[in-house]
């Protein structure tokens, strides 16, 4: 149910905890600001980020939420995320998996969907819809080649088709797009 193995993910972090230059890239910092601007609410009690990486996006999101929970499959990434956001809670999980408990009002999936295969995307969409129907959902999608079996927009389309939520585009850069679905209230 995943297109990329845990070993492949660990290999991405083999040279260090910032393989995509999240800390120093003007492009990444701009995308993080655009992600924050796309959030439907000014504040949240709890956010759950899937594929939190080294926690750089979490640092941008954290001021808008009372509690932050991040999930990643790679220990190196989680160690860096804990340093970036010491007050956060972090779980090592290889998606798709049973996601951490919590009354999350925001679920954030930033450039993570194309690491899954179609059955994994379906399982993830259905779990999110079932467990957090009132939560807002934000998907950030890389538009360039992913190097994986699924490209970003293809993975987003599969996820969208498996979800009951109406995801709609709210922002786009030349290399990414941001789609949002407000909670099913």
Task: At 30, list the tokens.
Answer: 């701009």
Residue 142 lies in a domain: yes
How far is 166 from 179, CA to CA, in rounded Å? Answer: 10
- The pLDDT score that the predictor gives to residue 84 is 97
**Domains identified in the chain, total number:** 1
Full pLDDT tens readout for the chain, 185 residues = 567 788 888 877 888 888 878 999 999 999 999 999 999 999 999 999 999 999 999 999 999 999 999 999 999 999 999 999 999 999 999 998 999 999 999 999 999 999 999 999 999 999 999 999 999 999 999 999 998 999 999 999 999 999 999 999 999 888 999 999 998 76
Q: At 99, which CATH number? A: 3.40.50.150
The sign of the dihedral angle between the CA atoms of 167, 149, 47, 103 is positive
pLDDT at 2: 65
Is 100 in contact with 91 (CB distance < 8 Å)? yes
Angle at 132 between CA 52 and CA 35, to 5 degrees: 40
Residue in 138, 118, 134 with CA at minimum distance from that of residue 39: 138
- Supply the pLDDT for residue 23: 93
Tokens of 69: 């929970």
Read off the pTM.
Answer: 0.93
Q: What DSSP state is assigned to residue 62?
A: G
- Does 1 map to a domain? no
* pLDDT of 185: 61
Assess if residue 79 is contained within a domain. yes
Q: Is residue 48 part of a domain?
A: yes
Residue 161: which domain range?
Answer: 6-181
Residue 27 lies in a domain: yes
């Amino acid at each position: 149910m995943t297109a990329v193995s845990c070993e492949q993910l660990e290999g991405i972090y083999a040279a260090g905890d910032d393989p995509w230059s999240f800390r120093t890239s003007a492009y990444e910092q701009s995308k993080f600001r655009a992600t924050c601007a796309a959030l439907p609410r000014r504040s949240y009690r709890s956010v759950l980020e899937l594929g939190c990486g080294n926690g750089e996006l979490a640092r941008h999101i954290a001021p808008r939420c009372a509690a932050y929970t991040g999930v990643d499959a790679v220990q190196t990434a989680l160690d860096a995320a804990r340093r970036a956001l010491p007050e956060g809670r972090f779980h090592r999980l290889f998606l798709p998996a049973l996601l951490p408990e919590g009354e999350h009002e925001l679920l954030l999936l930033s450039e993570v969907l194309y690491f899954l295969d179609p059955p994994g995307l379906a399982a993830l969409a259905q779990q999110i819809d079932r467990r957090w129907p009132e939560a807002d959902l934000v998907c950030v999608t890389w538009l360039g080649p992913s190097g994986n079996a699924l490209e970003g927009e293809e993975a987003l389309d599969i996820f969208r088709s498996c979800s009951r939520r109406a995801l709609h585009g709210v922002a786009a850069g030349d290399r990414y797009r941001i789609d949002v679905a407000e909670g099913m209230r």
